[in-house]
Amino acid sequence: MKTIAVANQKGGVGKTSLCVHLAYQLAEQGYKVLFVDCDPQANASLTLNEFSSGIKASQLFEPAKLPVIELGEGNIALIHADPALVNLDRAAMSIIETFMEQLETFAEQFDVCVIDNSPSLSLRTTAGLFAADFVLSPVQVESYSIQGTTSLLQTIIGIRQRKQQGGGDLVFIGMLPNLVNNNSPMHRSNLKELIEAYPQYVMPFKISNRTSIGEALADQMPVWKINKSAAREAAKEMRAALSEVQNRMGLATREVTK
Ligand SMILES: Nc1ncnc2c1ncn2[C@@H]1O[C@H](COP(=O)(O)OP(=O)(O)O)[C@@H](O)[C@H]1O
Ligand SMILES: [Mg+2]
């Protein structure tokens, strides 16, 4: 099982939208996807509700043995967010290890695990990053959002170093500019600045600001299944970016089966 965490301490940058679309894309190709919603706001859990395994995300931070998951035809099993996740931020560091061990029990059954995180660099997000092999960070090209990229990168690089010392790794897939307004000179110049500041970390893709992305998630489907011409461009950009994420995770593109 390859595990990817999507992280950025800013809210509203597109973490959940990307996580859910990545899960849909991989599931359509026949990959068995375990989706872990670690954000008590539970946005992803709402969209992916039909795939619920009945397991609560807070249970992953407790040592009790978890029930077996029956993977349905959709190829996605959701471990849904629950309010008890909030209390974990005051828990002991040892919950990171428990979380990793609990996820590991599903490693044989699933090909991919996608972890959606809260807009914070909390103990829960840290656990997600320790459990992950890959991390992806959507970023918004607003000035206030770009200001947070340094601490985001420091966190990711810090955890990567700690994992490498223990013989593990955390591959930073990169920052993916999202919600880009192509007509905004400010967005264009912020994007250029971001690329100049972190040429090795900014993915050469972007996702524009398009309402069909929010509509798709509310309708519990990926944007490429929205039958409107306005959704076509959004679908194209989303597919292109996620195919590169998939590629960087070493997951071959397969023919769509669903
Ligand atoms: N490219 C986009 N274009 C338009 N709306 C978007 C786009 N990406 C995300 N959104 C919307 O912006 C809001 C925040 O996105 P979300 O994925 O929930 O962010 P996060 O998980 O980082 O808080 C949601 O309402 C979502 O539907
Ligand atoms: Mg979210």
User: pLDDT (tens digit, 9 = 90+) per residue, 25-52?
Assistant: 999 999 999 999 999 999 999 999 999 9
- Residues 128-147, buried b or exposed e (16+ Cβ, 10 A)? bbbbbbbbbbbbbbbeebbe
Tokens of 147: 């200001």
Determine the distance separating the centroid of ligand 1 and the alpha carbon of 180, expressed in angstroms.
11
Q: What residue owns the CA closest to ligand 1's atom 12? A: 12
Mean pLDDT of the 135-144 span = 91
Q: Output the CA 20–ligand 2 centroid distance in Å.
A: 10
Indicate the pLDDT class of residue 148, thresholds 50, 70 and 90: confident
Which atom belonging to ligand 1 lies closest to the Cα atom of 8? Answer: 22
Give the number of the atom of ligand 1 that is nearest the alpha carbon of residue 178.
1
CB of residue 13 inside a 6 A radius of ligand 1: yes
Give pLDDT tens digits for 157-181. Answer: 999 999 999 999 999 999 999 999 9
Looking at the CA of residue 207, tell me the nearest atom of ligand 1: 1
pLDDT on residue 186: 94
**What is the chain's mean pLDDT, rounded?**
95
Per-residue model confidence (pLDDT) at position 258: 63
Q: What is the mean pLDDT of residues 123-128?
A: 96
d(CA 73, CA 143): 43
